[in-house]
Homo-oligomer: A and B are copies of this chain.
Amino acid sequence: MTENLNRSLVLVSRPEGLVGDDNFEVRSGPVPTPGPGEVLIRVTWLSFDPTQRGWLLPGGTYKAPLELGEVMQAYAVGQVVESNNSKFKPGVHVQGMLSWQDWHVSDGTDLTIVPEGVEPKAMLGVYGTTGLTAYFGLTDVGQPVAGETVVVSGAAGATGSVAGQIAKILGCQTIGVAGGSEKCSWLVERAGFDAAIDYKSQRVGSRLDELAPGGVDVFFDNVGGETLNSVLKRIRRHARIVLCGSISTGYVPGHLPPGPSNYFNLCLRSSRMQGFLLGDYRERFEEGRRTMRDWVEAGRIVYEEDIQEGLENAPKTLRRLFEGANLGKQLLKVADPPLAG
């Protein structure tokens, strides 16, 4: 059993396109011992986020790249099992930047204790990176106003689905773009979007012309590519494009497809396209989590989780994001928490 053993997924070669199973090697070793001020965490749930693909690039992106021979990093939750840090008692669940392994030693930096009454894995989704990304990206960068038309791409994903529901709470007409009829039905029937466009079977541009003949005020973009270009063609004056993701590019800068040829509409329509990183809002995380929790507990925001199992399946689970296989937050269960409480 893994209780006496620590398995680590180590980067042994850099992926060219999609992440392959063979880019990582499972290495086994003893469970590590926490040093002074450190805690030993049993990793229980891993989060999967498109941005992780960028961490594997040789030059890095907004953070230093993962080096060959290093254990893959990941947002995750786990339970503190041994602690030399008075802030974290054994038994508490914590969320933070952990790693693709059974056991993780941390000095406590950027570790958040999962609040009372919150399911730990929700700290990776609706109260974690994806929910907070949606919250800050939509409200602070997109700044939608009641009555405006908001379009979201990757709308059935963990971030997009929350962004669209927040837009709806704020009184906007909300249109989601997603792949496949199952996702599109979920958007309208469960998540309360006003409309959904299935990019696999419909033309995004002409559907937008029907659904939003006056044009688009806010576009929350997780995808890039042709969808971004179609929306840029249809922005209204003073529109705001929120750049959250570009999953269609696969996050591989060496192989970038052409950018949006309609970008100059930003000038002709006095509009802006703006990016952000979740880390920009570190000081407001508490506000974001509190607001999300109010909305979730009031039933105003719903979310789905796509749950995989087994640490060894981490690379293929990351791949699912780029294949559009997940509906909702992509998670992987590593283990049950070993301690009671």
Q: How far is the CA of A103 from the CA of B257 in the complex (A)?
A: 51
Also in contact, A249 and B272, with CB within 8 A (given A258-B258, A259-B258): no
Q: State whether A54 touches B268 (Cβ < 8 A).
A: yes
Q: Does A181 contact B (CB under 8 A)?
A: no
Which residues does chain B contribute within 8 Å of A176, judged by CB atoms?
none
Which residues does chain B contribute within 8 Å of A246, judged by CB atoms?
264, 267
Q: How far is the CA of A259 from the CA of B225 in the complex (A)?
A: 10
Which residues does chain B contribute within 8 Å of A269, judged by CB atoms?
62, 275
Q: Name the one of B245, B265, B274 contacting A271, with C-beta atoms under 8 angstroms.
A: B274
CB distance from A228 to the nearest CB of B (A): 8
CB distance from A117 to the nearest CB of B (A): 33
Also in contact, A259 and B262, with CB within 8 A (given A272-B275, A275-B269): yes
Interface of A is mostly: mixed
Q: How far is the CA of A62 from the CA of B269 in the complex (A)?
A: 7
Q: State whether A263 touches B273 (Cβ < 8 A).
A: yes
Q: Does A224 contact B (CB under 8 A)?
A: yes
Q: How far is the CA of A246 from the CA of B267 in the complex (A)?
A: 9
Q: How far is the CA of A178 from the CA of B43 in the complex (A)?
A: 56
Also in contact, A277 and B272, with CB within 8 A (given A243-B264, A246-B264, A249-B264): no
Which residues does chain B contribute within 8 Å of A267, judged by CB atoms?
243-246, 275-277
Within 8 A of B (CB), among A207-244: 224, 229, 243-244
Which residues does chain B contribute within 8 Å of A275, judged by CB atoms?
264-272
What are the interface flags for A268-310 relative to B under an 8 Å C-beta threshold, 1 for contact and 0 otherwise?
A: 1111111111001000000000000000000000000000000
CB distance from A225 to the nearest CB of B (A): 11
Which residues does chain B contribute within 8 Å of A274, judged by CB atoms?
266, 271-274
Q: Does A256 contact B (CB under 8 A)?
A: yes
